[in-house]
Amino acid sequence: MVEQDLTIEPGSTIGIMGGGQLGRMIALAASNLGYRIAVFCESEDDPATQVCQKAVIAPFNDFLALKKFTSMADVITFEFENVPAEAANFLEAHSLVRPKPKVLAIAQDRILEKTFLNEIGIETAPWAQINQADHISRAMLSLGHDAIFKTARFGYDGKGQATIRGDQALLDTWIAAGKPPSIAEGIVDFACEISVIIARGLDGKTQCYDIAENQHRNHILDTTIAPGRVDFEISEQAKIIAEKIANSLSLVGLIAIEMFVTKDRRILVNEIAPRPHNSGHWTIDACVTSQFEQLVRAICGLPLGSPQRHSNALMRNLLGKDVERWPQIIADGENKLHLYGKRGAPPGRKMGHVTRLFPLSPSWDSVTLDTAMTSIRENS
Ligand code: AMP
């Protein structure tokens, strides 16, 4: 049995499940605080393994390898939520795991996730579960003619998703996907998409970043605008929702909550991710404490850092071949370029990101923002 209120001091080893760019940036932030890093991932040249001291390269269901990993790490965290539940539970039985696997289990299944949110009184898009064919017409009855089909598990960046019109289309989509447990969700005519990132420490104290606004391209995050263009009331409401979610999960760690703001000013939660999030990359360059350092502080039982923003920021993802423009991006000394060390840039792959800082302000002047958006799009 592992002591749950343990503080993990600098010099100890943090284990990260997953080797992607989030793991890489967690490792870099942890290194700054004097921690060592062990990474568990499936491929030797993953972005996080390039910056860690130890790595275990094995499939996530290799229990011998997982056991070896627990002997290397003083605390284990996740950089992505699709680590199989059996692996997460095994780790918890042998090591200190933060956040707890039950948080991961909720986040990796849209049915559990939406049920949890609705049960604690948080509004989502209307949705209906589809486990069998006769759920389909009932789903369409409750949602109307058009809906978004989403597989319950292993969907990200729009994968496992389709917009469908009518119950025959929904049935066809579900069958074509292999009849997995799924949901149909009403299409939200949103005014904007925002995300809130909140950390919760061992002592239950929380720290929330300013609300960010997200723009997507082909269902993948393209640009984050921080602060988001929402008024004080929406921003406070969004933070209250985030705090409720973090507390209800008894989270020790950091969670990103994606939300839709509807045209009639309602906030609907779309997704939760109990880890650093792409829409929080701007915090590296624009905040006192980045989301990555904040996660490290939370899981090590250290006091949380200030999430205060010292600049306005725009973050743009470099997807696929966008990365080939790195020479011109870096030639502009105002750009903060982050590359993830990935080889091969198929369309849509997250290869890096670029952040641009602007003078601190509680909101954006629309001319400044338009010019900045044009500039970050042309230059990156
Ligand atoms: P998700 O994988 O659920 O985060 O969805 C990816 C993106 O698809 C979201 O950020 C939205 O831009 C869009 N999307 C997802 N669900 C809905 C919905 N119910 N209504 C409208 N747009 C949606």
Could you read off the pLDDT of 189-208 as tens digits, one per residue? 999 999 999 999 999 999 99
pLDDT at position 371, please?
A: 87
How many angstroms is it from 56 CA to the middle of ligand 1? 34
pLDDT at position 1, please?
A: 45
The answer to whether residue 368 scores a pLDDT higher than 60 is yes
How many angstroms is it from 366 CA to the middle of ligand 1? 26
In degrees, to the nearest 5, what angle opens at C-alpha 30 toward C-alphas 215 and 15?
Answer: 95
Q: How confident is the model at residue 374 (pLDDT cuts 50, 70, 90)?
A: confident
Per DSSP (E only), the strands in 80-181 are: 127-130, 146-151, 161-165
pLDDT at position 157, please?
A: 61
What are the pLDDT digits (tens) for 128-180? 999 988 888 888 888 888 999 999 987 666 666 889 898 899 899 999 989 99
Peptide bond into 227 cis (omega under 30): yes
Average pLDDT rounded to a whole number, residues 241-247:
98
Ligand 1 mutation pick, 124, 154, 194, 219, max ligand atoms within 8 A of CB:
219
What are the pLDDT digits (tens) for 58-104? 999 999 999 999 999 999 999 998 899 999 999 999 999 999 999 99
Average pLDDT rounded to a whole number, residues 36-55:
96
Average pLDDT rounded to a whole number, residues 236-247:
98
The answer to whether residue 236 scores a pLDDT higher than 60 is yes
Asked whether 158 lines ligand 1 (CB < 6 A), one says yes
> Measuring CA to CA, which residue among 127, 162, 136 is closest to residue 148?
162
How many angstroms is it from 278 CA to the middle of ligand 1? 15
Burial 290-309 (b: 16+ CB within 10 A, else e): bbbbbbbbbbbbbebbebeb
What are the pLDDT digits (tens) for 215-234? 998 889 999 999 999 999 99
Average pLDDT rounded to a whole number, residues 347-354:
96
pLDDT at position 378, please?
A: 73
Predicted TM-score (pTM) above 0.85: yes
What are the pLDDT digits (tens) for 7-24? 999 999 999 999 999 999
The residues, any chain, with a CB within 8 Å of residue 172's CB and separated by 6 or more, are none
Asked whether 162 lines ligand 1 (CB < 6 A), one says no
How many angstroms is it from 216 CA to the middle of ligand 1? 9
For ligand 1, what atom is nearest to the CA of residue 270?
3
The answer to whether residue 109 scores a pLDDT higher than 60 is yes
pLDDT at position 376, please?
A: 82
What are the pLDDT digits (tens) for 251-306? 999 999 999 999 999 999 999 999 999 999 999 999 999 999 999 999 999 999 99
pLDDT at position 219, please?
A: 85
Asked whether 46 lines ligand 1 (CB < 6 A), one says no
How many angstroms is it from 219 CA to the middle of ligand 1? 7
Asked whether 219 lines ligand 1 (CB < 6 A), one says yes
The answer to whether residue 40 scores a pLDDT higher than 70 is yes
Cα separation, 141 vs 191, in Å, equals: 25
Listing DSSP states for 129-155 in one string gives: EESSTHHHHHHHHHH-SEEEEEESSS-
For ligand 1, what atom is nearest to the CA of residue 221?
10
pLDDT at position 166, please?
A: 87
The answer to whether residue 380 scores a pLDDT higher than 70 is no
The answer to whether residue 241 scores a pLDDT higher than 90 is yes
pLDDT at position 2, please?
A: 57
Asked whether 113 lines ligand 1 (CB < 6 A), one says no
CA-closest residue to ligand 1 atom 5: 158
The single residue listed with the structure tokens 């230059």 is 379
Question: Are residues 161 and 146 in contact, defined by beta-carbon separation less than 8 angstroms?
Answer: no
